[in-house]
A and B are shown apart, each in its own frame.
Chain A
Amino acid sequence: MTEPTTTGRRAEQGVAVRLTDLRRTYAGVNALDAFSLDLAPGEFVALLGPSGCGKTTALRCLAGLEDPDSGTVTVGGRDVTGIPTSKRDMGMVFQAYSLFPHMTARQNVEFGLQLRRQPAERRRRRAEEMIELVGLSPHIDKYAHQMSGGQQQRVALARALAIEPQVLLLDEPLSALDAKVRVQLRDEIRRIQLDVGTTTLFVTHDQEEALAVADRVGVMRSGHLQQIAPPQELYSAPVNDFVADFVGVTNRLRGAVSDGSAQVLGGAVALLPGSATSGEVVVLVRPEHVTVQPAPDGGGNAAVVSASFLGAHGRVIAAADTGDQVTVQVAASAVGGFPPGTRVVLTPTGEPALAVSAD
């Protein structure tokens, strides 16, 4: 039997990870298609994309649970392509509950340390430390079936981190949990990651989750990385309409391009790099980049379809005279001012937006 030995490396530094030109096909389906991704030491990267776009496959290739048809995986400068999972030193948390059912939380966390032949006393201390880090000290001697889903995922996280992995891999660890626990645990994952400094890849199909936790978010489609950027940049400067649509809410407004800006709803909108440069276009405008005012004399350029109160802010949906449906974000207190049918004036604020060819 070959088991990994304890590494002397300090986890705090984190290691660089590089996936280069990975390809993987399953019976004709391109799960990964020339997929490349770099993670800086200690960085938290989220992979975001619709179900079936290849996120899990990418993560599993990094973990060694799946072999790419071609391409390389390097971790900390070392080529690990072809090295089995058990020797890659990766901490993983899965979407499905993965605690060993015949072991308590403590035994689960100690498992990886036992394989590394750590002395019992050290193991015990480390397990208690990790369980405390995820806030479960009172439950340390419970079995998986005595814990809630959220608690189980916390223990799984503690178990993954206990071995001081080179890389932490999280494959939709929150998707089986209910909304409130999900938000709570995702913030906690971020806090812990900053604490330990392990390079982390987090896979999710929930854009809010990805934007909330990651240093950088990579958006995937059909096995290919569309864009990778810090959350704000991804939101304010998407490179194509798939990214713009997938990240946040966006309006698709018809307009025309002339000398570097687009005309929509009677206003000018600056264009982001990569936009279409001429002719009929669709401009992707965020709801908060449009203002809405009641038209004083029944004029205006749109009619309200509905207005709703969403807690922190409100939302007005209006049908523009151009035929476009426009979603506008408004102050929560303003919702009452827009009963359905009201004529309104919609004006773009002019923030740079992406324009794509109309067809």
Chain B
Amino acid sequence: MSSGQRARFRRKQAILRRVVVTVVMIFFLVPLYAMFDYTTRDLASGGRSMRTWKTLLDFGKVSEQYPDLRTGFIASVLLAVLTVAIMLVLLVPTMTWVRLRLPGLSRIVEFICLLPLTVPAIVLVVGLTPIYAWVTYLLGGATVWLCFAYVILVLPYAYRALDAGLRAIDVRTLSEAARSLGASWLTVMWRIVLPNLRTAVLSASFLAVALTLGEFTIANLFSRTNLQVAMYLLGKSDAQISVAVGLLALVFAFVVLFAMSFVGSGRAGTSAFARLRHHRKETA
């Protein structure tokens, strides 16, 4: 290929890239715009009004007027935190251990972790009902205890993300090196494995957060009020507020994703975050 041909080829590729990006953007942005458009409509007069957004941005008023939304929001945030915590505590040591000591079990662990993908939420609820009778009996009927069900729900995604992270490092050699230097298993986990899994842990956590914040079926079937259920209930009485909250939730998720990908980018130890930390230590 001559250099002229190559330049033309590259130009063509650049154009194609731009077209694809534009189409994707439109695909995502049009529904968002439609949501925004709907929330700014004045349904009585047919004109424009920012009434919905004003209400929504006044936290005191929101929690007063829409108590369900407030409980749902708090429950969902708590659920997200708890789900991520339980998922990490459960998966990271297990997967590391299986990789190090019980490679024969990896197939089974993978199978179990991916299983929830194949079970529809309704079926999951049917199966979980007797278990949740116990949970309610032991811990009470608060919405946050849905976190156990959500951990199962996020298992496949979290597994995939963590598995990719574990594959990228030589956990075995690293942990053996640390052990020979005198590290206990806990130290190996905390100071060697986790820091090198940072990106994987972040993406697993993000997937878990996104899934938890967006979960409706299980919460609804168990008659618990999380954010989605609250929005649904609200939709029946005040559709505009409901859609506005939905839009906010989407934007929030997008911001979280963006922030996480920024923090997690770069090689272990060389990300902007790590450099900052290093720099602070130097100057201290």
Partner-B contacts on A (CB < 8 A): 1-4, 63, 65, 84-92, 94, 96-98, 100-103, 111-112, 115-116, 143, 145, 156, 159-160, 163, 169
Cα separation A337 to B70 with both chains bound (whole Å): 98
For the A-B complex, the count of residue pairs with Cβ-Cβ distances under 8 Å equals 83
Are B177 and A98 in contact, CB atoms less than 8 angstroms apart?
A: yes
Are B269 and A103 in contact, CB atoms less than 8 angstroms apart?
A: yes
Tell me the smallest distance from the CB of A43 to a CB of chain B, in Å. Answer: 20
Tell me the smallest distance from the CB of A1 to a CB of chain B, in Å. Answer: 5
Are B274 and A102 in contact, CB atoms less than 8 angstroms apart?
A: yes
A sample of 14 more A-B contacts (CB under 8 A), given A100-B174, A101-B196, A160-B180, is A1-B184, A1-B187, A85-B180, A86-B179, A92-B177, A94-B173, A96-B170, A97-B173, A101-B169, A112-B182, A115-B181, A143-B267, A143-B270, A169-B180
Which residues on the A side are within 8 Å of B103 (C-beta)? none
Partner-A contacts on B (CB < 8 A): 169-170, 173-174, 176-184, 186-187, 191-192, 195-196, 267-270, 274
Are B186 and A1 in contact, CB atoms less than 8 angstroms apart?
A: yes
Cα separation A92 to B179 with both chains bound (whole Å): 10
Tell me the smallest distance from the CB of B171 to a CB of chain A, in Å. Answer: 11
Are A159 and B176 in contact, CB atoms less than 8 angstroms apart?
A: no
Closest 3 CB pairs of A and B: A112-B181, A102-B269, A92-B180
Count chain A CB atoms within 10 A of each CB in B170, B179, B181 and give the residue with the most.
B181
Other-chain contact of B183, A86, A145, A169 (Cβ < 8 Å): A86
Cα separation A60 to B204 with both chains bound (whole Å): 34
Tell me the smallest distance from the CB of A201 to a CB of chain B, in Å. Answer: 13
Which residues on the A side are within 8 Å of B196 (C-beta)? 100-102
What residue of chain B has the Cβ atom nearest to residue A84's Cβ?
B179
5 contacts between A and B (CB under 8 A): A65-B176, A65-B180, A86-B179, A102-B195, A156-B177
Are A98 and B269 in contact, CB atoms less than 8 angstroms apart?
A: no
Which residues on the A side are within 8 Å of B179 (C-beta)? 65, 84-86
Are B268 and A94 in contact, CB atoms less than 8 angstroms apart?
A: no
Cα separation A92 to B182 with both chains bound (whole Å): 11
Chain B binding surface SS class: helix
What residue of chain B has the Cβ atom nearest to residue A115's Cβ?
B182
Cα separation A3 to B271 with both chains bound (whole Å): 31
Which residues on the A side are within 8 Å of B180 (C-beta)? 63, 65, 85-86, 88, 90-92, 160, 169
Cα separation A89 to B180 with both chains bound (whole Å): 7
Which residues on the B side are within 8 Å of A160 (C-beta)? 180-181
What residue of chain A has the Cβ atom nearest to residue B172's Cβ?
A96
Cα separation A85 to B101 with both chains bound (whole Å): 14
Are B176 and A111 in contact, CB atoms less than 8 angstroms apart?
A: no
Cα separation A159 to B192 with both chains bound (whole Å): 15
Other-chain contact of A86, B170, B174, B182 (Cβ < 8 Å): B182
What residue of chain B has the Cβ atom nearest to residue A60's Cβ?
B176
Tell me the smallest distance from the CB of A171 to a CB of chain B, in Å. Answer: 10
Count chain B CB atoms within 10 A of each CB in A100, A112, A116 and give the residue with the most.
A100
Which residues on the A side are within 8 Å of B195 (C-beta)? 102
Other-chain contact of B181, A96, A101, A143, A163 (Cβ < 8 Å): A163
Tell me the smallest distance from the CB of B188 to a CB of chain A, in Å. Answer: 9
Cα separation A1 to B182 with both chains bound (whole Å): 11
Which residues on the A side are within 8 Å of B170 (C-beta)? 96-98
Which residues on the A side are within 8 Å of B169 (C-beta)? 101
Which residues on the B side are within 8 Å of A100 (C-beta)? 174, 177-178, 192, 196
Other-chain contact of A3, B173, B184, B192, B267 (Cβ < 8 Å): B184
Which residues on the A side are within 8 Å of B192 (C-beta)? 100
Which residues on the B side are within 8 Å of A2 (C-beta)? 184
Which residues on the B side are within 8 Å of A97 (C-beta)? 170, 173
Count chain A CB atoms within 10 A of each CB in B178, B182, B269 and give the residue with the most.
B182
